[in-house]
Structures are given as structure tokens and as C-alpha cells.
Amino acid sequence: MTAAVLALAASGLSLVFGVMRVVNVAHGAFYMLGAVLAWAVASFVPGPPALAFIAALILAPLLVGALAAATDGLVLKRLNYDPEATIVATIGLLYMIEQAILSLYGPNANPVQAPFEWRIQLPWFGYSGYKLFVILAACAVLLALWTFLTRTKAGLVMRATQVDSTTARAFGINTDRVYMGTFALGAGLAALAGVLIVPIQQAHYLMGGDPLLLSFIVVIIGGLGSLRGTLIAALVIGLSDGVISMFFTPTLAKILATLLVAMVLVFRPQGLFGARA
């Protein structure tokens, strides 16, 4: 399940870097915003938990995507998407979002009820039905993302912009609009991951740190900007994180993941599936 959520969050980060060449340090904050919005929706929408959850699944990515689009227009575009300047800007954005949530939502971690309570019970072990749902939902979203990128006109426009934004403009592509859409889509994917995880992990204003770190690990190993690499690396890191955490300690899992990143950076700096610069 960790791998599935990680793949969702990391694919957003990878997409933003791939198309815009922006290293979005605020990506974890978008993930956290998704979780907090899911809590807010669950608190205010009456009726069964499933109804609130469905509302959160729709609303949170849209609202976070809208915030990201506004950020793109107000900040990133004005910086001409300069790689160094946007890193500093997104660090600032990360702190602004975290402090805003701390002020409005408070420092507590709040649970959100899972949309359904169901357990797969086999003779030798049991598994949460919700976790299985998260895996299937993440797979469906990633498949939809893949289809969007490879089979639609908007996906073609994004990929052309990713390869050469100047030439893309010479063929009538409004790259400013592509960047805005990409940043919103990346943030929306992070928010969706946040909504999916919150019935398991609770919403907290600092919860974006770990997924941000793991997402960076995933996209560095997979190759910045490579969606295929991101998915494979998310599977490897997510599974190994789960298995090592269960049989040893979560700290050891993080140490090994970081070592793997170091080895990739030394022996294959472009990542396993990234193109050489």
C-alpha cells in the first residue's frame, strides 16, 4: 500500500519536474493539504463516512490543484521558472502552507474514518479491505494518468513541452498554460495521495515531510521526469520500506533507501530510466 500511495505522490513530483524543470519542495505540503481537507470534508459533510470520503476524493485534489495553479501564476511564472529561484520559492510556499494549517487547523493529528470497514480474512492472515482499495485506486489513477499522457491531445502537448518548450511555442502551444496545468495536476495527485492515506495515518500539519523525502528518493532513483521510472522505483522503495519496517525498523528502511539514492547518484546520476542531460 505504501508503494501505491508513494507512486501517486512521486508521479506528481516527477511530472512537475519533467515538464517544468521545477523541483517542487512544497509537494509534501500539497499532500498534507489533501489529508487536512479530507478531514475538513469528513467533519462537515453529514451522512455515512463513504459519502464524505467520496466528496473529499473529488474536492481536495481540485482545491489543492487550484491553489497550485494560482501559485504558478503568481510566483513561478514571475520567476521565469528559473530552477534555483523556484526551489527557494517552493521552500517558502511549504512553510507558508504549513504555518497556515497550523494556525487554522491546530497542531493535533486528527483521524478520518475509513469509508468502509471490511477485512479480507484468509486462514493464515488478514488484510484491510481499505488498504486493498487504496492499492486499486492508486493503480487506476496511475493508469488513467498514463493514458492521459500517451493517448490524449493534452498529454501530447505536455510531452512536447517537456522535450522542448521553445519549439513547442513555435507550434502554437501556450506553454504558460501547460505549466499551470502541470503544476495543478502534480499538486492534485499529491492531494489525492493525502486523501487516500488519511484514514490510515491521521491528518497532521507536518505529515508532508516523509512523503516528500520518499518521493524525492523515488524520482531520483527512477530518473527525474520519467513516469515509468517513477512507478518502478515507487514499487521498489514502497515494498522495501514496508518489508524492512515490519521485520527490522523504519529507520533502517530509510537508511537503506538513502544509501540506494547515493549509489544511483554515483553510478547513474540520471536515474535508472532518466535521459542523460
Would you count residue 153 as binding another protein (CB under 8 A)? Answer: yes
Task: Find out whether 45 and 51 touch, Cβ atoms under 8 Å.
Answer: yes
What nine digits make up the cell of 175?
A: 506553454
Would you count residue 175 as binding another protein (CB under 8 A)? Answer: yes
Q: How far is Cα 259 from Cα 253, in angstroms, rounded to an integer?
A: 10
Residue number with CB closer to another protein (59 or 168): 168
What nine digits make up the cell of 187?
A: 499538486
Would you count residue 166 as binding another protein (CB under 8 A)? Answer: yes
| Binding span for another protein by CB under 8 A among 59-67, 71-79, 105-113, 154-162 | 154-162
Q: How far is Cα 75 from Cα 266, in angstroms, rounded to an integer?
A: 34
Instruction: Report in angstroms how near the CB of residue 11 gets to another protein at its nearest.
Output: 18
Would you count residue 169 as binding another protein (CB under 8 A)? Answer: yes
Would you count residue 276 as binding another protein (CB under 8 A)? Answer: no
Residue number with CB closer to another protein (156 or 263): 156
Among 172, 266, 276, 277, binds another protein (CB under 8 A): 172
Closest by alpha carbon to 182, among 139, 134, 225, 137? 225
Q: How many residues interact with another protein (rule CB under 8 A)?
A: 18
Instruction: Report in angstroms how near the CB of residue 159 gets to another protein at its nearest.
Output: 6
Question: What's the number of CA atoms in the CB half-sphere (13 Å) around residue 212?
Answer: 19
Would you count residue 75 as binding another protein (CB under 8 A)? Answer: no
Would you count residue 77 as binding another protein (CB under 8 A)? Answer: no
Would you count residue 21 as binding another protein (CB under 8 A)? Answer: no
Residue number with CB closer to another protein (99 or 167): 167
Would you count residue 170 as binding another protein (CB under 8 A)? Answer: yes
Would you count residue 157 as binding another protein (CB under 8 A)? Answer: yes
Would you count residue 251 as binding another protein (CB under 8 A)? Answer: no
Would you count residue 152 as binding another protein (CB under 8 A)? Answer: no
Instruction: Report in angstroms how near the CB of residue 219 gets to another protein at its nearest.
Output: 18
Among 99, 152, 174, 249, binds another protein (CB under 8 A): 174
Residue number with CB closer to another protein (66 or 156): 156
Q: Concatenated DSSP letters for the chain?
A: -HHHHHHHHHHHHHHHHHHH----TTHHHHHHHHHHHHHHHHHHS-S-HHHHHHHHHHHHHHHHHHHHHHHIIIIIGGGTT-HHHHHHHHHHHHHHHHHHHHHHH-S--B----S---EEE-SS-EEEHHHHHHHHHHHHHHHHHHHHHHHSHHHHHHHHHHH-HHHHHTTT--HHHHHHHHHHHHHHHHHHHHHHHHHHH-B-TTTTHHHHHHHHHHHHHH-TT-HHHHHHHHHHHHHHHHHHHHHS-HHHHHHHHHHHHHHHHHH-TT-SSPPP-
Would you count residue 173 as binding another protein (CB under 8 A)? Answer: yes
Among 54, 160, 235, 260, binds another protein (CB under 8 A): 160
Instruction: Report in angstroms how near the CB of residue 17 gets to another protein at its nearest.
Output: 16
Q: How far is Cα 35 from Cα 202, in angstroms, rounded to an integer?
A: 8
Which residues contribute to the site for another protein (CB under 8 A)? Answer: 153, 156-157, 159-160, 163-164, 166-175, 275
